[in-house]
Amino acid sequence: MPVSRMALWQTVERNRNMNITYNEKNRIFKLDTPNTSYCIGVVDEENFLGHVYYGRLLGSDDLAYLMRTGEPPFVPSENNRDRTSFLDTFPMEYTGHNLGDYREGAFSVRTMGGHTGVSLSYVSHRIYDGKEALDGLPATFGGNDECKTLDIVCEDSILKLQVVLSYSIFADTDAIARSVKVINNGGDAIYLTKVLSACMDMDNADYEMITLHGSWARERAIQTCPIRKGKQSVGSVRGESSHQEHPFMAWKSRTVTEEAGDVYAMNFVYSGNFIAQIEESQFGSIRAMMGIHPEDFCWKLEPGERFQAPEVICVYSAKGLGGMTRNFHELYRNHLIRGIYKDKKRPILINNWEATYFDFDTDKLLDIARQASALGIEMLVMDDGWFGHRNDDNSSLGDWFVNESKIKGGLKYLVDEVNKLGMKFGIWVEPEMISPDSDLYREHPDWAIQIPGRVGSLARNQYVLDLTRKEVRDCVYDRIAAVLRSANIEYVKWDMNRQLSDLGSLGLPADRQGELVHRQTLALYEMQERLITDFPNLLLENCSGGGARFDPGMLYYSPQIWCSDDADAIERLSIQAGTALVYPLSTMGAHVSDCPNHTVGRTTPFETRGYVALAGTFGYELDVTKIPEADRNRIPEQVAMYHKYNDLVRQGDYYRIAHYADNHFYDCYAVVAKDQSEALVTYVQVLGRPNVHSRRICIPGLDSEKTYVIENAADWPEIRQTAYRGDTLHYAGIHVPPISGDFKARIMHLKEK
Ligand code: GLA
């Protein structure tokens, strides 16, 4: 095909999957993703911006009636006496504040005169191919042929404040990335007291709200509640996305299943304080909002300056919760995760944390490495305790110098010896922290986040470094970079083991103290960007006391995140199900650990621990020299299993089949290859039951026309029939025999015949 015709054909193809239009006549913007439409309207002489529609793909933009401007109280040009009633009911695309919309808004300011009124009207727009990066922030990305963007410029003409609402859509997934930029075109500085990143008004159709809640070692449990009148919100004011609540919410029809029904969702590409809220109004409409938590937030914007709020990913799925999940997975795998490991198998690692805690030295680590390499494990990770004089968790954070009384012979010697075994070497760091018992703190007590005159609140006997100060960032970064340059270190686990408190920076003036937490988050991003730029071959794994900072913001820097300090196989079923509701399996740090489990004291079979860890990055968190021989002997089998299935697990489509948190007895999920040529089903019988029949399991996602055989039929001796059509597996299902005992697991590999 000649080049110009080829280019034309590509444009037609792309526009079939995604398109953004503005209809001058009815003043409607329409954003079409492969299966959804999102519409925004401009109304009245005052150019109010309204949310019109979000749902299944529509062929027409003739939708202005949905904004109900033809009903009382009417638009202000027709009825200004009831202006507040209009503002309080109109489905706003993005809100103003203090002028008559009494629902909670997404945006608020305080002028130098102390006033808080702000009103935003449409001024202009721009539609373009591709997507611009967000200054200093993690964000989804895509080439000119992969995504399109709409920027809508709104303005408060009194304050001379511009707000740019950005919407990007993607040709390969039903997601919309939204963000907000504020530009001060006025002559005076202004304080931004709230700049949320997305707001969406729509009618409530008896929706239920889904959020993820948790605690240390119990991260991301799925919680579902009906939406009631008034506000329901989750959030974090802990300086990180947190164990406790998660920057994700969905609202769905009550009858939704994994495969059918309406689901709307928002996920915040950010790692600091957040709020996610749904408010149902007096008239039954709902307003969903997400963004930086306004508590303790106040940003001073000087004339000419801009403020960029982070990105929210919006997803609508008519194909139930499973459809929502697969849209997020696709978006994050293709348009958020970067680096050389983006599409690559990760080395199987062994981490010494639960093996030794702080009690290790070169000899002990080399013993572990020797044994591990003989079993096929590919990388040794030296966890907390290698620096300063850290022999417990009371000291030395900030003193990033190798403790040669433990690491005898020096770090380079240790790493070289590990490399000689054919293994890679990785290291643990916690750059954002400072121990009061550290040379760094004795030299720079002012470098900790603190309120002058108050004794700071300790957590794990440590303070948080004030990274908003460049000299602090540079000092810590340089120390850690020097360690990384001193030996062949190919992996870093970046930890964060306490949340922020005592918010105060000795580096910021009084009227900028409200910028601290966001600036701290930006500083974290800057440091991680620097790290992956200076060390492009490094595998970075983020972590925060387990999984307290498992969010899309961190995924922009590290392709994997430690999911939880709880590596018990049964606890992990819930933690991983909640995590995989939004995030691809390739991102979930998951290890086989020793028993009785160090967190819950439970004993589960070694095989079960292996099958559950297979749903994540896969590795070991145990002293391989000390575990029972029978367990050790199983490691080569598990290593082979990882190599056989990891491509499928990392790249395939994930389907939830049954969850023991709902049924109390068993858990089941499948990963299906994109070309539907194979699937891996994981089945965990959490509790055995007496006197029961086999259990019927339906396996979705396969090609109805194809026939599949159970490739590992030898592992399922009770199942006599080993070949099934895809539609049979999906709709009629397969019979899984009762297995004797608790915590038993098996996998089933289905292959196209
Ligand atoms: C956190 C991490 C653990 C381990 C310890 C070390 O809790 O989640 O995996 O690295 O810190 O102190």
The sign one gets for the Cα dihedral 53, 56, 57, 58 is negative
Report yes or no: 298 and 195 within 8 Å, Cβ to Cβ: no
Q: Which atom of ligand 1 is nearest to the CA of 544?
A: 8
pLDDT of 10 strictly over 90: no
Is residue 249 classed as helix, strand or coil in its secondary structure?
A: strand
**Residue in 219, 358, 495 to alter for ligand 1 test, most ligand atoms within 8 A of Cβ:** 495
**Residue in 242, 349, 428 to alter for ligand 1 test, most ligand atoms within 8 A of Cβ:** 428
> Predicted confidence band at 13 (pLDDT cuts at 50, 70, 90)?
low
Tokens 């054909």, residue located: 9
12: buried, middle or exposed (CB in 10 Å: 19+, 13-18, 0-12)? exposed
72/651 Cα distance (integer angstroms):
52
115/57 Cα distance (integer angstroms):
42
Q: Which atom of ligand 1 is nearest to the CA of 562?
A: 8
Distance 529 CA to ligand 1 centre (A): 22
Q: What are the tens digits of pLDDT across the range 192-236?
A: 999 999 999 999 989 999 999 999 999 999 999 999 999 999 999
Q: What are the tens digits of pLDDT across the range 382-427?
A: 999 999 999 999 999 999 999 999 999 999 999 999 999 999 999 9
Distance 436 CA to ligand 1 centre (A): 19
Cα-Cα end-to-end distance for the chain = 36
For strands 274-280 and 230-236, give the pairing.
antiparallel
- Predicted confidence at residue 395, as pLDDT, reads 98
Tokens 């003193």, residue located: 399
> Predicted confidence band at 16 (pLDDT cuts at 50, 70, 90)?
confident
**Residue in 382, 497, 617 to alter for ligand 1 test, most ligand atoms within 8 A of Cβ:** 497
- Predicted confidence at residue 270, as pLDDT, reads 99
- Predicted confidence at residue 5, as pLDDT, reads 75
Residues 6+ apart with CB under 8 A from 585: 329, 615, 616, 649, 650, 654, 671
Q: Which atom of ligand 1 is nearest to the CA of 428?
A: 10
Q: What are the tens digits of pLDDT across the range 499-510?
A: 999 999 999 999
pLDDT of 657 strictly over 70: yes
Q: Which atom of ligand 1 is nearest to the CA of 543?
A: 8
pLDDT of 718 strictly over 80: yes
Q: Name the residue with the closest Cα to ligand 1, atom 12.
A: 384
What number is the average pLDDT over the span 734-740?
A: 95
- Predicted confidence at residue 738, as pLDDT, reads 93
Q: Name the residue with the closest Cα to ligand 1, atom 2.
A: 545
- Predicted confidence at residue 120, as pLDDT, reads 98
Report yes or no: 642 and 348 within 8 Å, Cβ to Cβ: yes
Residues 6+ apart with CB under 8 A from 252: 207, 208, 210, 261, 262, 263, 264, 321
Residues 6+ apart with CB under 8 A from 65: none
pLDDT of 73 strictly over 60: yes
- Predicted confidence at residue 11, as pLDDT, reads 66
- Predicted confidence at residue 577, as pLDDT, reads 98
pLDDT of 84 strictly over 70: yes
pLDDT of 12 strictly over 90: no
The region of weakest confidence among 3-12, 105-114, 381-390 is 3-12
Pocket of ligand 1 (CB under 6 A): 353, 383-384, 393, 428, 495, 497, 543, 545-546, 562, 565
Q: What are the tens digits of pLDDT across the range 290-345?
A: 999 999 999 999 999 999 999 999 999 999 999 999 999 999 999 999 999 999 99
Average per-residue pLDDT for the chain: 97
pLDDT of 14 strictly over 70: no
Return the percentage of the chain with pLDDT > 90, whole number: 97
Distance 544 CA to ligand 1 centre (A): 7
461-479 burial by CB neighbour count: b if 16+ within 10 A, else e?
ebbbbbbbbeebbebbbeb
* Residues annotated as catalytic (active site), given as ranges: 495, 565
Peptide bond into 452 cis (omega under 30): no
Distance 588 CA to ligand 1 centre (A): 16
Distance 495 CA to ligand 1 centre (A): 7
What number is the average pLDDT over the span 524-538?
A: 98
Distance 407 CA to ligand 1 centre (A): 19
Q: What are the tens digits of pLDDT across the range 547-595?
A: 999 999 999 999 999 999 999 999 999 999 999 999 999 999 999 999 9
Q: DSSP string covering 365-416, please?
A: HHHHHHHHHHHT--EEEE-S-SBTT-SSTTS-TT--SB-TTTSTT-HHHHHH
Is residue 316 classed as helix, strand or coil in its secondary structure?
A: strand
Q: Name the residue with the closest Cα to ligand 1, atom 4.
A: 353
Distance 656 CA to ligand 1 centre (A): 29
Q: Closest Cα to residue 548, out of 247, 137, 222?
A: 247
The sign one gets for the Cα dihedral 239, 240, 245, 249 is positive
**Residue in 565, 566, 591, 620 to alter for ligand 1 test, most ligand atoms within 8 A of Cβ:** 565
Torsion of CA 121, 127, 133, 137, to 10 degrees: 30
Report yes or no: 423 and 377 within 8 Å, Cβ to Cβ: yes
Torsion of CA 276, 281, 283, 289, to 10 degrees: -30
- Predicted confidence at residue 79, as pLDDT, reads 98
